[in-house]
Each structure stands twice: as structure tokens, then as C-alpha cells.
Amino acid sequence: MRILSGIQPSGALHIGNYFGMMRPAIALQAEGEALYFIADYHALTTVRDPETLRANSRRVALDFLACGLDPERATLFRHSDVPQVTELAWILSTVAPMGLLERAHSYKDKLARGMAPTVGLFNYPVLMAADILIYDSDVVPVGKDQKQHIEMTRDLAVKINETFGQVFKLPEPRINPQTQVVPGLDGQKMSKSYGNNIDIFGDEKEARKRVMSIVTDSTPIEAPKDPEGSTIVQLYSLFATKDELANMREQFKKGGTGYGDFKKELFEKLWEYFAPMRQRRQEILRDKSYIDNVLSKGAKRANEIADQVMERVRKAVGLR
């Protein structure tokens, strides 16, 4: 089984990224050949400062490694170290129906948030399909927001197979129902672009401040509170044991504890959860060449697979 996923280096990683994609991806590295990449070509659709893009890319590699990606088992690489994906994206774009791309939620969301409608933004799902198909991927661990992109990848693979014969495998999304949408401070999907994120490796004071600013209703301290749909309880469930979670839900229903106290409990759990990863991060930072070595080894392996698949594709469509 080949497992593949990508993450954009568009800023600091948050706990939505961690539970939605990184933790499942790290768990899957024991189950097959895993390839994880830093989607710098994709980030070019939003990041326009070269130094920022370079720094963010290294930072994503560092954070992913600190969270448990094991470079002995999984391949970690930069998207742009496999430039053949852009060739495959072109080939896919020649069969991609405009209507399919026009229906993409993420494109429509981005325009609704005021981003300029560039061709790159519109074509994003085609490049993402190339990212997946170029490694003959079987399984793609992602959060729910990426589901449609994977369906589009399958549609494009089918189009190529119908037109040129059996060229591509059809990949399956792997979406964990418990963590498919991690809520942010305002209860919406946690996202850097909504400003409702809690970062994995943020500063302690800032993280505490953010947790304390989770939006709640105004039920007074003494009154019973509804744990269903509470952002505090949802986030707490990511970190707490079953008993701890049951206990918080009990306390909610009983009344007598204010939201501030629940938020403090949540912060303590969250901070403790990431402590070993913070330590691992410091260790990695001490070894100046570690990240470069991991990425160059990763690029080599990713290129081996991509070159083989591209030979097959070029032959199938008549470019060789």
C-alpha cells in the first residue's frame, strides 16, 4: 500500500492540521510506503515572498518531524523537488472539464474571501491530482475539507484511463470521522485564514490567551451547561482520556464551574500533550544538517517513483 499526503507551507501549523492530517499520516507510516510532501508549488498561489516561502517550507519539515514523522520509515520531501508533477498537471489539464473545476468548493471559498481569481488558484485541484497520481498512491490521509479534491483526482484518473487505457490507480481518501473538522476558537473549522487557530508550536502565553478566548455562550457559573456542541469539550476530547472527557461533560451538566475553568483545564492538557514534541523539535534544531539530509533523501526516493510513472504516462499519451 502506498500512502501519500501533502501540506502547504503557508504558515505555522495548527492543531487542526495535526489531528486532521499529520497524526493520521504519522500513524499510517507503519502500514505501507508513506510519502509526505511540503506543497510549496501550491503555496505559491498565496505566498508571494520568496524568503517566507523558503522559511515556511523548512518549518513545516521541522514541525512534521518533531510530531513523529520518522524519516527511516516515511519519505518527506519538497513538492518542487519533483518538478515532473507540473508536467503531469499539464497533461491532466488537457482532459479536465472546466465545469468540474468550477464546482470546486475551495476555489469558490477563496474567491469569496477576496482572493484574486488566478489561473493557478483555479487549476489547484489539477496539480493536486498530479501530486497524488504521480506516486501511484492508494491512500490519502486528509481532513474533510480535502475530500472533494480527492474525488476530482479520481475523476481525472478515470478520464485518462478511459481515453488512453489503464494508466492510473484510483486513490482513496482516508478521513478520520473523529477529527475530520477540528473547530477553531469561534467554533468554525480551525484555519489560519480565519484567524481562529491554536498553533502546535506557538508561544505558551499566546496559546493560553487563545484558549481563554474560545467563544462560549453567557451561561452563568452556577448554571448547568450543555456539553454538546461546546468547542471547549470538542477540543478537550482530542487530548483527554475517556474518563477525563466523561468527567468534564459531567461537570458541564452539573453547573457550578465556569467556562474559564474548563478552558484552563483544556489548556493544561493541550500544552502537556505537545511537550514531548516540543522537546524533539529542540533536538532536531541542534543538528544543523538534519532537515536538509532528510529532504534530499526524500527527494531522491520521490523522484524514483515519479520518473517511473511519468514514463508510463508519456508513452500512454504519445509523448514518447
Instruction: Return residues touching ligand TRP (CB under 6 A).
Output: 4-8, 39, 42, 128, 131-132, 140, 142, 146, 149
* DSSP string computed for 148-159: HHHHHHHHHHHH
Give me the count of residues in the chain.
Answer: 320
β-pair type (139-141, 74-78): unpaired
Active site residue 189: yes
Using DSSP bridges, classify how beta strands 33-38 and 2-7 pair: parallel, antiparallel or unpaired: parallel
Q: Please identify which of the residues 147, 189, 264, 297 carries the catalytic annotation.
A: 189
Which of the listed partners (ligand AMP, ligand TRP, none) does 190 bind, with a CB threshold of 5 to 8 Å by partner kind? Answer: ligand AMP
Give the footprint of ligand AMP on residues 188-207 (CB under 6 A). 189-191
Q: How far is the CB of 220 from ligand AMP (least distance, A)?
A: 30
Catalytic residue among 110, 225, 263, 269: 110
Q: Cβ 271 to ligand TRP, closest distance in Å?
A: 26
In sequence order, the β-bridge partners of residue 154 are: none
Residue 16 touching ligand AMP (CB under 6 A): yes
Catalytic site residue 300? no
The count of C-alpha atoms lying within 13 angstroms of the C-alpha of 268, restricted to the half-sphere facing its C-beta, is 8
Instruction: Please name the amino acid found at residue 86.
Output: T
As to burial, measured by CB atoms within 10 angstroms (0-12 exposed, 13-18 middle, 19+ buried), residue 287 is exposed
Q: In whole angstroms, how close is the CB of 142 to ligand TRP at the nearest point?
A: 5
Distance set, CA 299 to CA 31, 81, 302, 303 (Å): 21, 6, 5, 6
Task: Report residue 240 as a C-alpha cell.
Answer: 483527554
Name the residue whose CB lies closest to ligand TRP: 6
Which of ligand TRP, ligand AMP, none does residue 173 bind to, with CB < 5 to 8 Å depending on kind?
none
Q: Which does 140 bind (CB under 5 to 8 A by kind): ligand TRP, ligand AMP, none?
A: ligand TRP
| Interaction partner, residue 191 (ligand AMP, ligand TRP, none; CB < 5-8 Å by kind) | ligand AMP
Options 3, 4, 7, 294; binder of ligand AMP; rule CB under 6 A: 7
Between 11 and 187, whose beta carbon lies closer to ligand TRP? 11
Q: Distance between CA 320 and CA 317 in Å, rounded?
A: 8
Task: Please say if 225 is a catalytic residue.
Answer: no
User: 307: helix, coil or strand?
Assistant: helix
CA distance 282 to 239: 22
Which residues are known to be catalytic? Answer: 110, 189, 192
- Residues of this chain that interact with ligand AMP (CB under 6 A) are 7-8, 16-17, 20-21, 142-143, 145-146, 181-182, 189-191
